[in-house]
Amino acid sequence: MADINVEDVLSKLTPLEKVSLLADGPNGVRGTKFFNGVPAACFPCGTGLGATWDQDLLEEAGRLMGEECIAKGAHVLLGPTINMQRSPLGGRGFESLSEDPVLAGLGAAALIRGIQSKGVVATIKHFVANDQEHQRQSVDAIVTERALREIYMLPFQLAVRDSKPKAFMTAYNKVNGTHVSENAKIIQTTLRDEWGWRGLVMSDWFGTYSTTEAINAGLDLEMPGPTRFRGEAALHAFLSNKFKPTALDDRAREVLQLVKECAMSGIKEDAPERTLDNPETSALLRRIAAESIVLLKNEGNVLPFRNDKPILVIGPNAKYAAFCGGGSAALAPYYAVTPFDGISAKAKGQKVDFAIGCYSHKELPLVGSSWKTSVDKGSESGLVFRAYNDPPCVTNRECVDEIHITNANMMFMDYKCDGIKTDLWYATIEGYYTAEGDGDYELGDCVYGSARVFVDGKEVIDNATTQRKGSSFFGCGTVEERATVPVKQGQTYHILVDFASAPTNKIIGADTVAFGGGAVRIGGAFKIDEEWEIEHAAALAKEAAQVVVCAGLNMDWETEGSDREHMHLPGHMDRLISAVAAANPKTVVVMQSGTPVEMPWLSSVAGLVQAWYGGNECGNAIADVLFGDVNPSGKLPLSFPVRNEDNPAFLNYRSEGGRTLYGEDVYVGYRYYDTVKRPVNFGFGHGLSYTTFALSKLNVKIDGQNLAVSVDVSNTGERSGAQTVQVYVSQEVPKIRRPVKELKGFTKVLLAKGESKTVDITITLKYAASWFDEHMDKWIMEKGKYKVLVGDSSDLTEGAVQGEFEIEKTTWWTGL
């Protein structure tokens, strides 16, 4: 990929050549493939990154993300995601950083600075109001201009101001009547003209819906290829004078500029994918994961655990590594450490008992690690995938590809095989399962395409003749069809899946992101008696010196393509936690989820740790915090309501009649709970430590165009630790209704036992004081007095300090 003079090249291109630039991107832009991809570093999920409240650490994380891109031969990273968490039920809520635009915007800016310092292009997404999965391609988000500016656009605005991302990705949805990918007010008027941003705007995958409208609005690149709305259609529109005179040049120019940026990165075209699986990568991932963990409750100092006493580990998330959520955010990790393995490594020879208690899966657990490729002793874990041009009914059909598979969740959107002749192709996927006991083994299959499952030659699942639509594979796939097979301990069973590609699918709906190839997911689990398991776990807990329940969600429950139906933990998990806590009042719960869950047992447990989806090192990081090798310093980046009914978007969270009304307006998250004085389980910014801190000597002053805040922070406890200083601003007498307070700045400081430091937080004054005036269509910084409230959470009760400043004259402003 050579450096180019953009204007010189543009002047030499024909209209057809310019049009050819406006769809698809270079192969490998994603880096890791969906199907059988090269393993990669898996970072904590977005809410985990947001929970660090540490801009320096996030910039360091961004640098590693950039290095990972280079290793994968990718010039463009499709992230970060900074949509707002309007509701706890958002299917992709785990991908976003926060419910607060300042925390999300400043965190994203730090990530982008790190990513782009390596020459990689960061793509901030999804611009804008892509805050639910329900009917995401067709829904019309009805949002007031004030809420759009103060909540939903503000994180993007801050990222542009502080990091200048080189690419934007548009949202799937409409905003106030027009799809964002063809919304000139959003893309051109606000992003480019008002904010002065320069860079490439691409659609989300299959998120382009028009030719002329999208090009005129400022959408440079239709993703992915082959094109649906450009190519010949765009050339015809150009020749018919459907475009503004300069629109084609403007779009082609930005694509060429991206090519130039990619050339300057030094990353070679079609570079072979490699890994950065080394001690340095592991150490940073472990540190990020540990700093993301939030200690929510610690009655009687039940934590940290002691490693000279035995420990009982309970729960379905104990021996399962919930390292990431589902959908396009998922990837094949270098490795994934389970909480049980992390805890066992800390036990120093002490007894570590385990009881599963209950299952928590939505779809059956993937079988890649529990099946073998053959009956031979020492055979590899995994499955054998074989591709064919002909269906199973053809005798002696030729195998055109054979691959060893370790991930039983297979999406073939980027699968390539020279031997496959058409879009319609076939495959067998087979493996061997050895029963761990006498009883029943449950098999499950989701498919985009069609599939039949056989056990020792007998068909047990027909997911081909009749299909039922489910949420798998971004909404393209079926529900999981299941079969129960009686098994005997030690006996090995041959399981074969006959798969046919996407053209054989029967259930595509109008609101799915259809992709080529198709997909299949194979799950399986030995059936357990959950009533007995709960009783058994409680009996063990009654006698245990230390008890931890590893609970939560996983990539089945939190995934792109579908929102959660409720805030409850799955299955019998609430009953399990209640039973264990009743047996042992010192029970600690480790919760892994990307967004909040209801906690009916909260008052019964002594300790609660929120561990998110922690990436490769999730289990080690959890153990580091549980045993006190790391003093927890994470803070919640979103509020944890008591019930789903309490959240501000409860009445307006789904598409109804093709639209979603953002009825809570600017009162998202803590802004709402503060205003209506509604209690929450845990507030925005909350997080405990194994030490204690105090704030004093607050000083607030206006320094030119900035608000300068300084405060002394003291470690008053018995061990070193980090504290996050959070600065909130409240206007005393606004002319319109405003939230009680709003986060405007923050910083994290590490203090040794007994140490004190003065921390300085500088906030651009107009960002600290302004709200968006819809009548003037500008931001307004009103004359008057403002309170500055500084504390360690949005609660701002014990230990918070207060100051004030005054604006002498009302002014309006636009831009950055």
| HEC readout, 237-275 | HHHCCCCCCCHHHHHHHHHHHHHHHHHHCCCCCCCCCCC
Model confidence pTM above 0.85: yes
Q: Which is more confidently placed, 470 or 650?
A: 650
Q: How high is the pLDDT of residue 514?
A: 66
pLDDT value of position 419? 94
Q: What letter represents residue 670's amino acid? A: Y
Amino acid identity at 174: K
CA 546 from chain center: how many Å? 32
What end-to-end distance do the CA atoms of the chain give, in Å? 34
The predicted structure's pLDDT at residue 607:
98
Three-state secondary structure call for residue 535: helix
- pLDDT above 60 for 479: yes
Amino acid at 205: W
746 contacts: CB under 8 Å, gap ≥ 6: 53, 102, 103, 106, 724, 725, 726, 727, 761
pLDDT tens per residue across span 783-803? 999 999 999 999 998 899 999
pLDDT single digits (tens) 123-169 = 999 999 999 999 999 999 999 999 999 999 999 999 999 999 999 99
DSSP three-state, residue 458: strand
How far are the Cα atoms of 44, 82, 304, 325, 449 from residue 291, in angstroms, in the given order?
10, 20, 15, 19, 42
Buried b (16+ CB within 10 A) or exposed e, 529-540: ebeebbeebbeb
| pLDDT grade for 226, boundaries at 50, 70 and 90 | confident
Residue-wise pLDDT tens digits, 52-68 = 999 999 999 999 999 99
Chain segment 644-678, per-residue pLDDT in tens? 999 999 999 999 999 999 999 999 999 999 999 99
Cβ atoms of 104 and 53 within 8 Å: the answer is: no
Q: Which of 270-284, 435-449, 484-498 has the lowest mean pLDDT?
A: 270-284
Strands 680-682 and 742-751, how do they pair?
A: unpaired
pLDDT tier at 190, thresholds 50, 70, 90: very high
Residue whose structure tokens are 């300057």: 264
Give bridge partners of residue 562 from the DSSP assignment. Answer: 559
Check pLDDT > 70 for residue 32. Answer: no
Q: pLDDT, tens digit, for every residue of 547-598?
A: 999 999 998 899 998 899 999 999 999 999 999 999 999 999 999 999 999 9
In the chain, where are the structural domains located? 6-30+121-264, 280-358+530-682, 363-526, 693-813
Sequence letter at residue 315: G
**DSSP secondary structure, 740-777, as one string:** S-EEEEEEEEEE-TT-EEEEEEEEEHHHHH-EEETTTT
What are the catalytic residues? 204
Query: Amino acid identity, residue 614?
Result: G
CA distance linking residue 335 with residue 324, whole number of Å = 12
Distance CA 147, CA 774 (A): 10
User: Is the pLDDT score of 404 beyond 70?
Assistant: yes
Residues 220, 201: contact at Cβ < 8 Å? yes
What span, in angstroms and rounded, lies between the C-alpha atoms of 42 and 330? 9
Q: What is the pLDDT of residues 620-638, one digit of tens each?
A: 999 999 999 999 999 999 9
Window from 191-200, 245-254, 677-686 with minimum mean pLDDT: 245-254
Alpha-carbon distance of 166 to 272, in angstroms, equals 24
Rg (CA), the chain: 27
pLDDT band (50, 70, 90) for residue 509: low
pLDDT band, residue 176 (cuts 50/70/90): very high
Given a cut of 90, is residue 690 above it in pLDDT? Answer: yes
CATH number of 280-358+530-682: 3.40.50.1700
Average pLDDT over the chain, rounded to an integer: 94
The pLDDT of residue 25: 42
Q: Which CATH number fits domain 363-526: 3.10.180.10, 1.10.1240.10, 2.60.120.260, 2.60.40.10?
A: 2.60.120.260
**CA atoms within 13 Å, Cβ hemisphere of 400:** 16
Residue range 693-813, CATH number: 2.60.40.10
Residues 544-549 have a mean pLDDT of 98
Question: How far, in Å, CA of 222 to CA of 213, rounded?
Answer: 13
Whether pLDDT at 26 is above 50 = no
Q: What is the DSSP string of 325-378?
A: -BSTT---BS----HHHHHHHHSTT--EEEE--S---SSPPB-TTTSBSSSSTT
* Band of residue 510 on the pLDDT scale cut at 50, 70, 90: very low
**Statement: residue 512 has pLDDT above 80:** no
- Percent of all residues in the chain with a pLDDT value above 70, rounded to a whole number: 98
Q: Give the distance from CA 441 to its chain's centroid.
A: 32
Q: What is the pLDDT of residue 511?
A: 53
What is the per-residue pLDDT for 349?
Answer: 84
Predicted confidence (pLDDT) per residue in 515-532, tens digit: 789 999 999 999 999 999
| Alpha carbons 124 and 118: distance in angstroms, whole number | 16
Q: What percent of the chain has pLDDT over 90?
A: 85
Query: CA 417, 422, 424, 427: dihedral to nearest 10 degrees?
Result: -30
Beta strands across the sheet bearing 547-552: 294-298, 607-610, 588-592, 547-552, 311-314, 352-355
**Residue listed under structure tokens 């501000």:** 648
Tokens of 5: 């003079």
Give yes or no on whether 280-358+530-682 and 693-813 have one common fold. Answer: no
Specify the 3-state DSSP secondary structure of 438: coil
* 83 pLDDT more than 50: yes
Is residue 31's pLDDT more than 60?
A: no
CATH code matching the domain that covers 6-30+121-264, chosen among 3.20.20.300, 3.40.50.1100, 3.90.700.10, 3.30.70.360: 3.20.20.300
Q: Name the β-bridge partners of 813.
A: 779
- From CA 636, how far away is CA 241, in angstroms rounded? 52
Pairing of strands 778-781, 811-813: antiparallel
φ/ψ of 614, rounded to 5, equals -95, 10
Question: What separation in angstroms does the CA of 574 have from each of 65, 349, 397?
Answer: 37, 31, 51
* Cβ neighbours for 743, distance < 8 A, ≥ 6 positions apart: 100, 102, 103, 684, 685, 726, 727, 728, 794
Question: For residue 386, what is the enclosing H or E element?
Answer: strand 383-388
What's the average model confidence in pLDDT over 249-275?
89
| Tens of pLDDT, residues 304-314 | 999 999 999 99
DSSP element (H, E) containing 428: strand 426-434
